Amino acid sequence: MTDLPRAPETRTTEAHKTEAHKTEAHKTEAHTTEAHNTEAPHTTAPRTPALLRTAEDLHKLRYEGLRAVVMTMGALHEGHATLIRRARELAGPRGQVLVTVFVNPLQFGANEDLDRYPRTLDADLEIAGQAGADAVFAPYTDEVYPGGEPQVRITAGPMGGRLEGATRPGHFDGMLTVVAKLLHLTAPDIALYGQKDAQQLALIKRMVRDLNFPVEIVGVPTVREADGLALSSRNRYLSDAERRTALALSAALFAGRDRLTAQAALHARAQAAPSTRERAQALGALGEARAAADAHAVAQAHTGGPAAVRAAARGVLDDAAKVQPPLVLDYLALVDPSDFTEIADGFTGEAILAVAAKVGTTRLIDNIPLTFGAAV
């Protein structure tokens, strides 16, 4: 992507945004999707990022051009590095890439892993620098919440009570509160978040739109291991056996995706048959194997329909629940990304197939985007 148009300037984060910047920052959703889904080449020169601990240090940090921010809770891995490299590409050589590292206590509920969440600041600085970050803002808790837990918070609304929000009450309120604070403190032109946390990304986009934050939010595709497991800071908690079981999350998502692709191909081939008899024969030839695997779902679902996608994914998860150590499913959902409500049969358009489960004591989430009604 080419740099967003902006006249070169030197400034501090305390400077007000210009009206032209506001217009530029509020890109349409279509532009954001089209412009930011291209993989960035890994040509970033390593840097030695400045470590900032206070808001005062942050406000003194000068820069030219665009500022791109990547917010993290630390324990950085290749997924975070991908976000930072993408930020470097968008900010350009004259811009600034700022990484925040803050383990936010507001988004951890009772009996969650706040105390054992990994703190690896030295390693984080190394990874951030290798990926092209100019500075790392790693504030202490009392710097972010100087008066203790804030009395005024952002509320995530109805979307924040679904899926992750239902399992982790208050999680998204805490997440949005700290994101809002960090957006104010860092004053970025662009903020990047991983699509692995799809519900979080959707809520941040909604908050920015509803509350008129002058920033462009960019989603970056999920980074996976070679075997399909989505990268996560919590993967380090898994034993070898647990990790093998955990592969069922991505396998289930891929099974749902493959079912959708196969049904779309079946539909296209059947539509191309020149007569009713030939069309019936084409349907039989193409659908026999998959129908045998899940005859009920295929019979009940529309061609390429959500029910068949859910059934294919659930079959993988059901099998994983029978192994040792077992996968304990929290939810499998096929949702509209605009509000995270379940989609119905006959739905066309963009959707997200999402899963959450525990393996041992480690809770993992994953998702993939799907398109219903797309031509094959």
Per-residue confidence (pLDDT) for residue 287, from 0 to 100: 61
Mean model confidence pLDDT for the chain:
84
Residue 264 has pLDDT above 60, yes or no: yes
Per-residue confidence (pLDDT) for residue 271, from 0 to 100: 66
| Residue numbers belonging to the annotated binding site | 73-80, 107, 194-197, 200, 223, 231-234
| Residue numbers belonging to the annotated binding site for ATP | 73-80, 194-197, 223, 231-234
Tell me the mean pLDDT in the region 235-260. Answer: 97
Write the pLDDT tens digit of every residue in 139-181. 999 999 998 999 999 999 999 999 999 999 999 999 999 999 9
| Residue numbers belonging to the annotated binding site for beta-alanine | 107
Write the pLDDT tens digit of every residue in 302-351. 445 999 999 999 999 999 999 999 999 999 999 999 999 999 999 999 99
CA angle, residues 308, 195, 165, in degrees to nearest 5? 75
- The C-alpha torsion from 105 through 79 and 198 to 91, rounded to 10°, is 90
Query: How many whole angstroms separate alpha carbon 241 and alpha carbon 230?
Result: 17
Q: Cα-flanking dihedrals φ and ψ of residue 328, to 5°? A: -110, 110
**Position 59: which residue type?**
H
Per-residue confidence (pLDDT) for residue 266, from 0 to 100: 75
Per-residue confidence (pLDDT) for residue 257, from 0 to 100: 97
Cite the residue boundaries of each domain of the chain with CATH code 3.30.1300.10.
233-372
Under CATH, what is the fold of the domain 10-220? Answer: Rossmann fold (3.40.50)
At 285, the pLDDT band (50, 70, 90 cuts) reads: low
Residue 376 has pLDDT above 90, yes or no: no
Q: Which residues are catalytic?
A: 80
Q: How far is CA 83 from CA 72, 78, 96, 135, in A?
A: 10, 9, 14, 14
Which one-letter DSSP state was computed for residue 105? G
Calculate Rg over the CA atoms of the chain.
23
Q: Which residue has the higher pLDDT, 25 or 289?
A: 289
Cite the residue boundaries of each domain of the chain with CATH code 3.40.50.620.
10-220
Residue 137 has pLDDT above 90, yes or no: yes
Instruction: Report whether CATH 3.40.50.300 matches the domain 233-372.
Output: no
| Residue numbers belonging to the annotated binding site for (R)-pantoate | 107, 200
At 281, the pLDDT band (50, 70, 90 cuts) reads: low
DSSP string, 74-93: S---HHHHHHHHHHHHHH-T
Per-residue confidence (pLDDT) for residue 286, from 0 to 100: 61
Per-residue confidence (pLDDT) for residue 47, from 0 to 100: 87
